[in-house]
Each structure stands twice: as structure tokens, then as C-alpha cells.
Amino acid sequence: MNRVDLSVSIGNLHLSNPIMPASGTFGYGQEYAGLIDLNDLGAIVSKAVSPLPRPGNHPPRMVELKGALLNSIGLQNPGIDGFIEKKVPFLQEFSPPVVVNVVGNDLQEYLQVVEALDPVQRVNGFEINLSCPNVQKGLEFGTTVEGVAHITRELRAVTQKDLWMKLTPTVPNPGELGKAAEGEGADALVAINTIGGMTIDAEARRPVLGAKFGGVSGPAIKAVALKYVWLLYEAVSIPIVGVGGIFNGTDAIEFVLAGATAIQVGTANFVNPTAMPDVLHEIEAWLEQHGESNLRDLIGQAHRTQGVATPIQNH
Ligand SMILES: Cc1cc2nc3c(=O)[nH]c(=O)nc-3n(C[C@H](O)[C@H](O)[C@H](O)COP(=O)(O)O)c2cc1C
């Protein structure tokens, strides 16, 4: 029995704790099953699923930078059939809710994935990837209010299961995009995805990644993600799942204070395979040390304990 209550609810899903993997950094769970107990997670979020298998981009596809990872995996995945045949039977062995990350080149492809997986038992919800900076065709449905509203409305019409919209970080108006998704029936928002970037090999005088551009993740994007979660919390009432550079319990607590109901651990899994249970234990220890018995009491608390407002210069 936990000494502190870490349980949270997102839409129709009840999570025993707020920790889950960030899509794409945990495969479909198999690689980590020998390292951590998947039943200890609050939820399991899969790597992307698209209608047909995708081979991903040319190598190199991952480069370590200062305080960051740059990847251009290109949403490599086994497609709907491969996911149902090879991944679902494994995921069904575990108790946490399973949320499937969905990608497509156009609206029809997103609908195809959600419609095909909607009847699958133990698929409890969908996380809709509205932006991935390293796919050539550019998943940019997520950059306009109309685009987000449209795709949310269409997907809401084909599933009763939980619908999480994973928003693109590269917009000036996250609150408006969040409201658009909420207005069309999304159960939660997830923020943020990687931020587009590149790196160049000075000796070779060319880009390092095979795909030239990739997505930046890890500690370097934590401040960006925190601000995004903060702005979403001010704009919407549905739960927010925070993600971006979370490496320890204090990082996670910061996201909760900014407004996140749950958090995802991504790049940290590559550095430390037990990052998720470690973060969970550190959250629990933090709450105990601070005399808190319920994580939910902290959600958005920093909005209510801001100091005297002073004009802030952004640059
Ligand atoms: C190698 C890699 C693969 C990823 N694949 C996906 C994906 O398939 N779908 C998705 O929505 N996000 C994907 N992401 C983005 C992560 O889910 C997460 O939003 C991002 O990495 C920020 O979190 P982090 O700083 O904790 O890694 C990927 C990230 C990395 C590093």
C-alpha cells in the first residue's frame, strides 16, 4: 500500500500512478519487460502505429547532443496488422491501460488506424501524434486551430475510447489549439513532442543525420515543455499529460505544479532503463518529504502560488 496517493484519472482511465513512457522511447514494451515491471506503470503508451508498416528513415537516426538527443527515426513501425499480431498479445499480459500512439500521412490514415484498433481489447485509448518533425511529408495538422478541431472531431466520431491529442510544440498559440481539441471532445492533451532541429559534422561538412533534420528531446527542451503545459493549463479544463526532458522526480513535480495530471518519460529511458520506476519513487519521496499525501493536490498549484507579478522581459 502506497504511503501517498499517486493515482490520477484521465478521461475514463484510472491510473494507479502518473508515470508512463513517452511514445517511441519504449517500443511496444517488450524491450523493457526484462528490466522493469510494466505493471508498475500508470499506463503504457506505444510507439506510433500507422496503417502500413514504415521502415523509418536512413541512418544515422540518433545523435547525442549537449543535454539533448536528436532523432530522425521516422516513425518506423509494423503497421496495423503487425501491431495486432505481434504487439497486442504481449501488451495484453499487463494491467496498466494501453494507449496507442497514432500517425498517418493524412486524415484518412489516422481514421483507418483508430477504426481498426477501436474494437481491440486492451487498447484503452489513442494518443494522436499531430506533429512529428522528422517525417518528410510533414505531419502538420497540428499547427492551426481549424486543423486541430477538424481532426479531433473526425476521430471523436469513430471511437468512444479515450482520445489524447499530442500537440505540436512549434506554435505561438498552444492555448487556442488546446481549446480547439477540448471543444471537439478530446479527453486529454499531451505536450510536447520533439522540436525540429539538426546538427552538422564540421569535418565532413555535412548534416549528421541521414534525414538531415530530426527532433530534439531531453533536458534541453524541458523549459519549453513546462511553459507549454503552463499555457495549456490556463486554457483548458481537460487533463494535460506533460512530457519533455523529465529525468527525475523533481522534474516530474515541476510539470505537475505547472498543470500536468500525468507525465511521460522519454529520452531518460535511453540513459537509464529504470528511469520510470526511479522517477515514480522520487515523486513519492518528494511528496513525503513535503508532507503531502495526495499528488492530485499539486496539479496546477504553481498557478496559485505565484509571487508578486513583476514585468518579465523575454529577451
Ligand atoms: C527516439 C524517439 C522516438 C520517438 N517516437 C515518437 C513517436 O513514435 N510518436 C510520438 O508521438 N512521439 C515520439 N517521440 C517523441 C516523444 O514521445 C516525446 O514527446 C519527446 O521525446 C519529448 O520527451 P523527452 O524529452 O522526455 O524525450 C519520439 C522521441 C524519441 C527520442
Q: Is residue 312 part of a domain?
A: no
**Which atom from ligand 1 is nearest to the alpha carbon of 45?**
17
Domain contains 153: yes
Is 50 touching ligand 1 by the criterion CB < 6 Å? no
**Cα-to-centroid distance, 309 and ligand 1 (Å):** 34
Range of the domain at 16: 8-304
243 lines ligand 1 (CB under 6 A): yes
Q: Quick one: pLDDT at residue 133?
A: 52
Domain assignment of residue 314, yes or no: no
pLDDT of residue 274: 97
Q: What CATH number does residue 250 fall under?
A: 3.20.20.70
Distances (CA, A) of 136 to 52, 77, 131, 142, 221: 16, 16, 12, 15, 22
pLDDT at 296: 98
8 A C-beta contact, residue 57 and residue 74: yes
Per the prediction, the chain carries an average pLDDT of 93
In sign, the C-alpha dihedral spanning 8, 189, 248, 24 is positive
Instruction: Evaluate whether residue 17 is within a structural domain.
Output: yes
Residue-wise pLDDT tens digits, 130-159: 975 544 444 557 889 999 999 999 999 999
Over residues 265-284, the pLDDT tens digits come to: 999 999 999 999 999 999 99
Task: Read off the pLDDT of residues 195-205 as tens digits, 9 standing for 90 and up.
Answer: 999 999 999 99
C-beta of 155 in contact with ligand 1 (< 6 A): no
Q: What is the pLDDT at residue 13?
A: 98
Q: By three-state DSSP, how is residue 111 classified?
A: helix
Domain contains 262? yes
Asked about 78 being catalytic, the answer comes back as no
Q: Residue 307's pLDDT band (boundaries 50, 70, 90)?
A: low
Predicted confidence at residue 134, as pLDDT, reads 45
6 within 8 A of 280, measured Cβ to Cβ: yes
Is 220:245 a contact under the CB 8 Å cutoff? yes
Q: For 18-29, how does the pLDDT look when each residue is reduced to its tens digit (9 = 90+)?
A: 999 999 999 999
Please answer whether residues 148 and 91 qualify as being in contact, where contact means their C-beta atoms are separated by less than 8 angstroms.
no
**Residue 297 within a domain:** yes
On whether residue 279 sits in a domain, the answer given is yes
Three-state SS at 129: strand
- Measured CA to CA, the distance from residue 264 to residue 169 in angstroms comes to 15
Residue 214: how many other CB atoms lie within 10 Å: 30
Which burial class, exposed, middle or buried, applies to 20 when counting CB atoms under 10 A from its CB (0-12, 13-18, 19+)? buried
**Inside any domain, residue 85:** yes
**Once rounded to an integer, what is the mean pLDDT over residues 152-177?**
95
Do residues 166 and 101 touch, judged by C-beta distance below 8 A? yes
Judged against a pLDDT cut of 50, whether residue 298 lies above it is answered with yes
Q: What is the pLDDT of residues 40-61, one digit of tens each?
A: 999 999 999 999 999 989 999 9
Nearest-angstrom CA–CA distance, 283 and 42: 13
Rounded CA-CA distance 34/121 in Å is 24
What digits encode the pLDDT tens for the residues 234-268? 999 999 999 999 999 999 999 999 999 999 999 99
Number of structural domains found in the chain: 1
Cα 76–chain centre separation: 17
